[in-house]
Amino acid sequence: MKVRPTASIRAGLVLAVGTIAFAALSAGADAYVYWTNDADKTIGQASLDGVAVDNEFVSTLDYPCDVATNGTYVYWTGGEGVGYVGRAPTATGVAQDHFIQTADDLPCGVAVDSTHIYFNNYINGAIGRATLAGNTIDQNFITGGVNPQQPYVADGKVYFTNKGYGCPPGCTVGRADDDGTNVNQNFITGTHDPPSGVAADDGHVYWGNGGSVGRSNLNGGQVQKNFIKTPGYVCDVAVDGNHVYWADYGEDNGGFIGRASLDGGNVDPRFIHTTGGTCGVAVDSLQTPGGFIFTEEPRITCAGTCRVVIVQITSDGDGNVIAEQIKPGQERRPARLAAAKKPKVLFAKLKQKVSDGENKLKLKPTKAGKKLLKKKGKLKAKMRFTFTPTGGDPYRVVETVQVKAKR
């Protein structure tokens, strides 16, 4: 979907005052890096350039150990006595702990694809699986591992690490088809350290190898145990179309997310500073099915009483667009603002059918929005735009932006 909107507000009139360009999401567009902060029981988030760091994006009940995302939700494993997979919408960061209960009391592994969530059950020597809705739970989906942890799914394959209980037994990277067949517990052998975390793209497999990131080809051959040397212990790895990321567990002064180019160059071991206990990292740029890119922030002017915001889009197909303000209370609020007065809903929710070509979306300020605009002369609200094509969700497109109106 390619979208080119113009936006304006004016009493009784439609007046275009600016152009904002959208495009279908590609790697790096509105994508994020996520990580676990075991020290603070939180999930962190940052943009792919390493800025806009939020080490408390999600606050969890128990110590999180691994993280995954499909762009719509971020998932993690944790537990104290009762192990679970938790999740939170990436739009809000509101935690749903104990979304799926695991057989382990403290699991350390989660992965997600378009249909299922995968998690580790090390006491069973197994990788478990459930549907995205958290149903049809199979605690022993892939069996025969030795302390299996941190699964990763890509291109119809499930990868996982066998950390063993010393080396040997274990200390391998395993692989299976995503239907649970063709299990190979010794897909990659001879790692010089219990492997920790695994990821794959269309050319290579990567894993944490003590003080380095290892790499092989997709057949498990041409093993490079020290593909990227790191100053700290690598506890997990992730990959997108441009970079390899790794989680440096850290010490008293926190941990780090490291990053390097896919060829192993441009190594930045301190790309993002975490609060520590970082044993999970995920990136959503290859997994998110779609999104919008804003080349500039919508800024809207009006004279008199503002009745409607006109957003003009050009769509490459039929579907529905929902525009809604992220409701007060759904956004995660820093502790220092916890007691602050909650903001009001300034724009009413819009659901509108669109067709191939140009369309106009009409966003209406609420009574509270009109009142605030009259009093302050401006409005600002965080809005979520969702495009769903006719016929289903596979190419669902979501973008969250700040909409500003100035009188």
Question: What CATH number should be reported for the domain holding residue 12?
Answer: 2.60.40.2550
Is it the case that residue 141 has pLDDT exceeding 90? yes
Tokens linked to 93: 């960061």
Last residue of a domain, one of 283, 303, 325: 283
Is it the case that residue 225 has pLDDT exceeding 80? yes
Residues 70 and 114 in one domain: yes
Quick one: pLDDT at residue 24?
32
d(CA 297, CA 144): 52
Q: Which residue is associated with the tokens 């391998």? A: 172
Other residues' Cβ atoms within 10 Å of the Cβ of residue 334: 9
Query: Looking at the domain assignment, is residue 326 inside a domain?
Result: yes
Average pLDDT over residues 314-340: 61
Residues 37 and 20 in one domain: no
Residues 178 and 224 in one domain: yes
Residues 195 and 60 in one domain: yes
Is it the case that residue 358 has pLDDT exceeding 80? no
Residues 325 and 256 in one domain: no
- Fill in the amino acid letter for 89: P
Nearest to 179 by CA among 145, 146, 148, 142: 142
Last residue of a domain, one of 249, 283, 317: 283
The fraction of the chain above a pLDDT of 90, given in percent, is: 51
Q: Which letter does DSSP use for residue 164 in this model?
A: B
Tokens linked to 41: 């029981």
Quick one: pLDDT at residue 395?
44
Query: Looking at the domain assignment, is residue 259 inside a domain?
Result: yes
CATH of the domain at 204: 2.120.10.30
Residues 324 and 378 in one domain: yes
d(CA 76, CA 168): 28
User: CA 110, 114, 118: angle at the middle one, nearest 5?
Assistant: 20
Give me the domain span that covers residue 44: 32-283
Distant-in-sequence, close-in-space partners of 343: CB < 8 Å, separation ≥ 6: 328
Residues 250 and 302 in one domain: no
pLDDT tens-digit series, residues 51-101: 889 999 999 988 999 999 998 899 999 988 899 999 999 988 999 999 999
Query: Looking at the domain assignment, is residue 1 inside a domain?
Result: no
Query: Looking at the domain assignment, is residue 2 inside a domain?
Result: no
Q: Which helix (H) or strand (E) holds 126?
A: strand 126-131
pTM: 0.67
- Burial of residue 356 (CB within 10 Å: 0-12, 13-18, 19+) is exposed
Last residue of a domain, one of 256, 283, 310: 283
Query: Looking at the domain assignment, is residue 274 inside a domain?
Result: yes
Average pLDDT over residues 19-29: 33
Residues 341 and 326 in one domain: yes
pLDDT tens-digit series, residues 165-211: 878 777 999 999 999 999 999 999 988 778 999 999 989 999 999 99
Query: Looking at the domain assignment, is residue 158 inside a domain?
Result: yes
Residues 158 and 13 in one domain: no
- Per-residue confidence at 240, pLDDT binned at 50, 70, 90? very high
Residues 271 and 160 in one domain: yes
Distant-in-sequence, close-in-space partners of 244: CB < 8 Å, separation ≥ 6: 199, 206, 213, 228, 237, 238, 259, 260, 261, 262, 264
Residues 72 and 206 in one domain: yes
Is it the case that residue 354 has pLDDT exceeding 70? yes
Query: Looking at the domain assignment, is residue 306 inside a domain?
Result: yes
Work out how many domains the chain is built from and give that number. 2
Query: Looking at the domain assignment, is residue 336 inside a domain?
Result: yes
Residues 259 and 295 in one domain: no
Task: For the chain, give the mean pLDDT.
Answer: 81
Nearest to 34 by CA among 331, 242, 268, 272: 272
